[in-house]
Amino acid sequence: MLKNNNKFYITTAILYSNAEAHIGHAYEFFLADVIARYQRLQEKDTYFLTGMDEHGLKIGRSARENNMEVQDFVDEMAEQAKELHQLLNISYNQFIRTSDKKIHWPGAQTLWKELVSSNDIYKKKYNGLYCIGCERFITEKELINNKCPEHDKEPENIEEENYFFKLSKYNDQIKNLIKSNSLIISPVSARNEILSLLESGLEDVSFSRKKESVLWGIPVPEDKTQLMYVWCDALSNYITALGYGRKNEDNFKKFWPADIQVIGKGILRFHAGLWPGMLLSAGLPLPKEILVHSYLTINGKKISKSIGNVINPKEYIHKYGTDAVRYYLGREITPFEDGDFSKEKFIKTYNANLANGLGNLISRILKMANDYFEGSVNNNDNVLIPTKRKKEATKEKDSLESWAIPYLIDNKFIPDYHGFMEKFEINRAADVIWKLIKELDGYITDYEPYKLIRTDKEKTEVIIWNVLYGLFFVGKFLGPFMPEIAEKINNLLGVKFDTKNIPKSFKTNILEKPLFKKID
């Protein structure tokens, strides 16, 4: 099959199914979704994968704590995750589950066999500290106050004979691939972190556990006493979902390697160290880029069950709407720095930027369009009227047209928006949208069409057309962020956002109720 140069394959880390997803998990799904939707708008053949990691000791313990059979437990967790994806309007193409014996297991076992054929799997006895939360053995030097720094729990001492993967063998090769940007790690801080780890040297990794220790997982090929453990199982989902190891590998041949793999910073070492090592051992291409996002905090504190500050995103979606939550995650959270989520800030930004900002602008201009022109607003002569503020401030050598709304959109807002989106700085791209909204608000303030209509109806129509033209692009830009609101703007303007021809006229519809009801 010929390679599709127009393809775009994006993945999230699969959600560990020991507990229901919180707002931090929702951010990763949302971030990947914004990127996927944007790529589709660029007419890329986009495939978006997400799913559930359902094997491991921690899963079995969680099932027992809930008095459930393990399969029943993970089935319930998967349904809860899918419900969140639906509520958050995540446009994934496939939801993979590692307990799926038809889709996932054949590829995971095929990958294991490839590692064996490369002489990279060996068996040895091991005695060490094991963190259930990390699902890995850790060293004493990693501990803080005798606890795992990631999960704030003391590890267990485990002695077993397991299979190991020769990750150390690929340390220098991975380091050189990252340094040469053959494997891009974004942002730079994440790249530096993994390079520092590689300078210290990667150690071989435990790849299996005794069946009686875990009871739940994929059998190791040719050894029924052992189960594949966590990382060979979980990481392989990115290729097994595409058909790797099954009869039909068309999607695998078409979409692999991944263009972008979105992960949280807590699992960087596995995705930028272990995963490339496994692929090199199996003779498979590496992903093009690993995008590492930071954490969400709640009122400045790390999200933690023990602290009791876990926020269920479903509650906010039900109360305030999907796109309101997507707005906050898209604009108020920075992908590459820890971002804070609080109810107070959520309500404040909702009222200021959605109810009073975007919502008020749409309500005002649609009312004028419908009251003054029965919703039919035209600018067939392509008249450009610059903003008064810019006109007065500009030097004489600048043309007046350079401060007209269409010119500003073509030469400032469009390049800025796409520039930030291509760099995955989605919060800055969202800022561009609200700068355009502010520009349109200022344009109404400049010309006061609600007063001008009394003396100059023709000029009033051109001014209202300019604002509607700006809203046309607000809707286009909002598509990846707030798809439901973008579609509503589309319908209210009476145009299609996917058209390549910029509209010369608008046939607006009446806004029956506010897009965003102010929160008291």
Question: Is a pLDDT exceeding 50 seen at residue 41?
Answer: yes
Q: What's the rounded Cα separation, in Å, for the pair 488 and 149?
A: 46
What distance in Å separates the CA atoms of residue 203 and residue 205, rounded to the nearest whole number?
6
Residues spanned by the domain of 194: 7-120+170-204+212-320
Q: Check residue 214 and give its pLDDT.
A: 80
Are residues 289 and 225 both part of a single domain? Answer: yes
Q: Region 192-216: what's the mean pLDDT?
A: 91
pLDDT in tens, 72-105: 999 999 999 999 999 999 999 999 999 999 999 9
- Tell whether the model's pLDDT for residue 50 goes beyond 60: yes
Give a yes or no: residue 138 inside a domain.
no
What percentage of the chain has pLDDT greater than the value 70? 93
483 or 503, which is more confident: 483
CATH number of the domain that residue 371 is part of: 1.10.730.10
Question: For residues 368, 373, 377 and 383, what is the CA-based torsion angle, rounded to 10 degrees?
Answer: -90
Q: Transcribe 131-158 into DSSP letters.
A: ETTTTEEE-GGG-BTTB-TTT-SPPEEE
Which residue spans within 188-322 are E strands per DSSP?
205-206, 208-210, 218-220, 223-228, 260-264, 289-293, 296-298, 301-302
Query: Each residue of 98-131: pLDDT tens digit?
Result: 999 999 999 999 999 999 999 999 999 877 777 7
User: Per the structure block, which two tokens stand in for 426?
Assistant: 């989605």
- For the segment 466-495, the average pLDDT, to the nearest whole number, is 95
**Per-residue pLDDT at 400:** 61
What are the CB-based long-range contacts (under 8 Å, 24+) for 221-224?
221/109, 221/112, 221/113, 221/116, 223/163
Task: Look at residue 58 and tell me whether its pLDDT is greater than 60.
Answer: yes
160, 249 contact by CB (below 8 A): no
CA 507, 510, 514, 515 torsion-angle sign: negative
Q: Which pLDDT tens digit goes with each residue over 256-287?
A: 999 999 999 999 999 999 999 999 999 999 99
252 pLDDT exceeds 80?
yes
Is pLDDT above 80 for 172?
Answer: yes
Same domain, residue pair 400 and 296? no
Question: Are 308 and 191 contained in the same domain?
Answer: yes
The secondary structure element, H or E, covering residue 314 is: helix 313-320
**Mean pLDDT over each residue of the chain, to the nearest integer:** 91
- Report the CATH number that the domain containing residue 82 is assigned in CATH: 3.40.50.620
Q: How many domains does the chain have?
A: 2
Q: Is the pLDDT of residue 57 over 70?
A: yes
**Distance (Å, rounded) from C-alpha 97 to C-alpha 161?**
28
442 pLDDT higher than 60: yes
335: how many CB neighbours lie within 10 A of its CB?
A: 23
- Same domain, yes or no, for 292 and 349? no
Residues 90 and 238 in one domain: yes
Q: Is residue 417 part of a domain?
A: yes
Domain assignment present for residue 273? The answer is yes
Please report which confidence band the pLDDT of residue 464 belongs to, taking 50, 70 and 90 as the band edges.
very high
Whether residues 283 and 410 share a domain: the answer is no
According to the per-residue pLDDT averaged within each range, which of 103-107, 143-147, 204-208 is highest?
103-107
The whole-number pLDDT of residue 1 equals: 32
- Examine the domain organization and report whether 267 and 365 are in the same domain: no
Q: Does residue 316 sit in the same domain as residue 453?
A: no
Does residue 92 share a domain with residue 187? yes
Q: Are residues 217 and 350 in the same domain?
A: no
Phi, psi of 293 (to 5 degrees): -95, 160
- Could you tell me the pLDDT band of residue 398, with boundaries at 50, 70 and 90? low
Would residue 139 count as lying in a domain? no
Does 384 have pLDDT greater than 90? no
Catalytically active residues are: 22, 25, 131, 134, 148, 151, 302, 305
Task: Please compute the mean of the pLDDT values over residues 303-330 and round it to a whole number.
Answer: 89
How do beta strands 296-298 and 301-302 pair? antiparallel
Q: Are residues 293 and 178 in the same domain?
A: yes
Residue 329 within a domain: no
Task: With respect to residue 1, please indicate whether it lies within any of the assigned structural domains.
Answer: no
Does 265 share its domain with 350? no
* Confidence bin at 10 (pLDDT 50/70/90): very high
Task: In whole angstroms, give the CA distance from residue 281 to residue 275.
Answer: 10
| Mean predicted confidence (pLDDT) in 13-27 | 89
Check residue 2 and give its pLDDT: 36
